[in-house]
Structure 1
């Protein structure tokens, strides 16, 4: 055998020994810098995991808060619609009583006997966070405002709701409307 054959056999033998031997015995030991880097990475990973846990808790708290706000908004909207319907019913009763007495009750102006109707719950669209009010573009039907359409073509100024009161009876009802508007 020649030297090259012996060298080739030795290389093959070392390869077989490495393949059969323990992997840890042939690995290079970690240096102090490598251990420090590993420790630093572990510390940073722990800090990031802690921050992530805090952020997840904060997101859950915000979701709970938003859910409560949506719930309160829905309740307030329902109460406002109920109050508005009651005020409109009172106004319609007042108007019908004035017509029955033969006096329009607004200083000589005439009014239609058609009562105003409350905005129905069906007029509300379902949004991602619950019922919503129609915007100005959606609130028109063929160029007619829904509020005007529900009052028989009359605006609230035709009923004296937007004007200053002209009699003590008008002053009381105007005060009631003003208080309801302030609450809404």
Structure 2
């Protein structure tokens, strides 16, 4: 039965082409058409993928420029905070000793009519700390004797300055 169909098909081809046209080229043309259609479909898929990648790249670039902007803002805020801290430090700290000049109330632990170095009963008070305490001078890197009330105030002030800087950043 297959031979019968083939014979009939050949007869139809001869009738259509009048026997002068080579029909093998038609088969090749159909094959080329199928390949061309497949290539066009693949090209469309690749163009869609390229558009998606382009959109993703633009989104990443936008994100990175936003991160750069935030980084610049943080750097600017840090520079401002550092400048303010240095200005406060220059204003508060004595340049010769590196210690803050603070006012201690005159009534704290002594009477206003007694000299500073006399205790109750006119006896001379010990002006040095009772224990061998030392503070590390962060500016120089050497130990120095503790100065009591000034050190407590200085420590409190420095910790609050650090806290403010941490909060600012």
Provide the TM-score with structure 2 as the length reference: 0.49
Larger radius of gyration: 2
